[in-house]
Amino acid sequence: MKIIPVITALLVLAVLYMVVFERDQLQAFSGAEPTTEEQAATLAATAESVPQEPASDAVGVVAMHSVAQTIDSAVILRGRTEAARQVTVAAETSGLVVSEPLRKGAFVNAGDTVCRLDPGTREASLAEARARLAEAEGRVPEAEAGVLEANARVAEAEINLNAAQKLSEDGFASETRRVSAEAAMEGATAGVQRARSAVASARAGIEAAQAAVATAEREIDRLTIVAPFSGLLETDTAELGTLMQPGTPCATIIQLNEIKLVGFVPEADVSKVNVGAMAGARLTSGEEVRGRVTFRSRSADELTRTFRVEVTVANDDLAISDGQTAEILIASDGRTAHLVAQSSLTLDDDGVLGVRIVGEGNIARFMPVTLLRDTSEGVWVTGLPEMVDIITVGQEFVVDGVAVAPTFTEAKG
């Protein structure tokens, strides 16, 4: 409080006292004529124009009338870009590399050769396997002919046995002849079994020879290592003359014509993220991209308790690289919220974030809020009534139950 206005007010009060209550003595002292009613009114108006202390104990604050608005809510994540597919192609057999190397950054199509190995003696092994197959296939007709011959012998033995049995019953042949015919029949039947076994063995030989041929052909196919899909070489292919063993890397290929934005959403927001929802991202380069959520993990990370979310975006020009940092925004259902200045936020004695409002009877009250989104115009918060008077200046100088004298300003919108 300044001293000059106080002295001025005291002087004016003294003058008014002399004018109103001691007017006669004042006039006698000054020798002036009695003061008229008009003059008294002029003096009273002069006294009213002098600044005086407010009679009320209310604290002056600045507030605004705020009405809740429906906004498009969004889940904001920090994440990174990730190639749609990445694979390290490796050798499945041993051999020396005989192909010229391709340099990293080169584009390869699906099926293109990235490494070729020296065949060595594999061609000879294939020729040998094919020869054994032809030999096995030649044994089958011979075995089948043996079956026909054995069947003929069975038929002949059966005729001889029937004749011997008939003659023996009529007494025209000895028992020895009948027994001999039965033995011949058994021998012919055994011959059929042996012939059929020979056929089965010949066919098994064919299958074994075919398997040997397939193995030799597959071994030759493994000499050529091809790209499983179209993409960019992330590493040089194996150098000419390199000795490759099964599992030795030939090259790493990544696919970038589609790229994934990977982020991890906390437990509190996982229910707001749905597969198929629209999403966008801002990369560190300033580029903005759009896509849709294609995956949301159903299992939380054991350490962070967050859920993996993937957004797929187009990248036909290959401008986006693997591993870039991205700020991801995933669209969610709209919510009602209030837009307030960050400076309006305060903390209560327990450290709870909120705002102070002008309650009924111009009494200050604290109300906790939840932050939804931070924008250049302010922050969107929830947890307040549909209509509320928020203290924007002076909230730090009042507590719950303190009377306030608010001056209202236009709300943000």
Distances (CA, A) of 403 to 56, 111, 398: 10, 80, 8
Q: What percentage of the chain exceeds 90 in pLDDT? A: 44
Beta carbons within 10 angstroms of residue 204's beta carbon: 11
Q: How far apart are CA 139 and CA 233, in angstroms?
A: 52
Q: What is the pLDDT of residue 49?
A: 45
Beta strands in 301-410 (DSSP E): 306-314, 325-331, 335-340, 346-347, 353-358, 364-368, 370-374, 379-382, 387-393, 404-409
Q: Give tens-digit pLDDT for 279-293.
A: 999 998 889 999 999
- Rama region for 256: left / alpha / beta (φ>0; ψ in -120 to 50; rest): alpha
Q: Is the pTM of this model over 0.75?
A: no
Structural tokens at position 83 = 């190639």
- Return the SS3 of 200: helix
> Average pLDDT, stretch 50-55?
42
Closest to 383 measured CA to CA, from 355, 413, 408? 355
Mean pLDDT of the chain, nearest integer: 82
**Res. 170: pLDDT tops 90:** no
411 versus 278: the higher-pLDDT residue is 278
Domains of the chain, first to last: 3-50 (no CATH), 60-71+335-409 (2.40.420.20), 88-118+224-249 (2.40.50.100), 122-221 (1.10.287.620), 253-331 (2.40.30.170)
Q: How far apart are CA 169 and CA 166, in angstroms?
A: 5
- How many residues are listed for the chain in this entry? 413
